[in-house]
Structure formats: structure tokens, C-alpha cells
Amino acid sequence: MTTEAKPTSRERLLEAAATLTYRDGVGIGVEALCKAAGVSKRSMYQLFESKDELLAASLKEGAASFVAGLLPPAGDGRSPRDRILHVFERVAAQAAEPGFQGCRYLAVQIELKDRSHPASRVARRIKRNLLTFFRTEAEQGGVSDPDLLARQLLLVFDGASARAGIGADNLKGLIAPTVVTLLEAAGLR
């Protein structure tokens, strides 16, 4: 008989920060975070220097699952076009799920405004990694200006995530044709 290990205080705080900040925003208080995690404020401050550090650690912790939920596996044999379209198919699927509120990394940057905030720096790095993915695929697809296409794709990604996150648009039948138009205009093979 296997028994699952109980999550540590650190793990519970990271999970509470991820859940509550995605649902309620980064302004969520320390009291609410600690209550949701079942951890005292004293314990939180022993584990994390500040709420800001907890938020940054939570975003960093969630990055692997963010990437796994969006990007195709490396070397999967698909064309750059299909690999890029995969990302947007995943966004459309995620946007259709209950509780979707857009890209958490974009939301953090918008809410915080302070580019030097630890969580903003983490969020910017994650978004930069997505931009790099798009640029690499564009280069491999023979695009003459891969930087421009990557920036355009990230703009569509962020806009689609935000519009779906606030319930302003349903991405089904909207996002793929938009991306295809960009890919064709850029001459992606």
C-alpha cells in the first residue's frame, strides 16, 4: 500500500499563490494566501523573503506546466507551420475550459506594472521563451524576417488569451485562420 506524501508548507504556499493570483490577481493578501495554504504567516516568511518572492517562485514553478500545455515536444517531426499552429490550437482548447482567465504570465505583467518586480521579471522571461520558440520555428520555416513574425505571433497569442480570458471572444474558428494568414503572408514553409 502506497501512501502519498503530504505536500510541504512550501508546496502548499506555491499552489495557493498560483491558484489565488490567477483567480483574484496579484493583489491578494498574505492572510488569504496563508489561510488557503494552511500555513502561518511566520512560516511563510521563513520560507519566502516576501509575498513578492512567493509570487515569483510560484510563477517559476508553473512554467514547466505552462510550456508542456502549449508547446509541441522538441523534434516531433512536424513542420514549423504545424508546430506553431499547435500552440494556437492549445490556446483555443484551454480558452474553452471553465475558469480560463487568460495567460497568467501576461496578467502578472499587466497588473504589476513594475518591470523590476520579481514576479514581473519571471513572467517576462517566460514570455520571452515563447517568443524564442516562435522565432526559431519561423527561422526553420524559411521566413525572411523571423523576428517580426515571432512578435506578430506573440501579439496574437497575448491578444487571443486576453480576449478569451475576459469572455470577450470565443477563439474557436478565429485564432487558427488569423495565424494561418500571418504564416502565409510571411512565407512560412
The answer to whether position 62 is within a domain reads yes
Instruction: Tell me if 5 sits within 8 A of 46, measured CB to CB.
Output: no
The answer to whether residue 144 sits within a structural domain is yes
Percent of the chain surpassing pLDDT 90: 90
The tally of domains found in the chain comes to: 1
Q: Which domain holds residue 75?
A: 51-186
pLDDT, one tens digit per residue, over 3-49 is 678 899 999 999 999 999 999 999 999 999 999 999 999 999 999 99
In a domain, 94, yes or no: yes
- H helices of 25-99, where? 30-37, 41-47, 51-70, 80-95
CATH of the domain at 139: 1.10.357.10
Question: Comparing 55-59, 96-100, 115-119, 168-172, which segment has the lowest mean pLDDT?
Answer: 168-172
With contact defined as beta carbons under 8 Å apart, do 127 and 105 qualify?
A: yes
Residue 119: φ, ψ to 5°: -70, -35
The Cα–Cα gap between 15 and 116 comes to 23
Query: Would 25 be classed as within a structural domain?
Result: no
Q: Is 22 within a domain?
A: no
79 lies in a domain? yes
Q: What pTM value is reported for the model?
A: 0.91
pLDDT at 2 over 80: no
pLDDT in the model for residue 1: 58
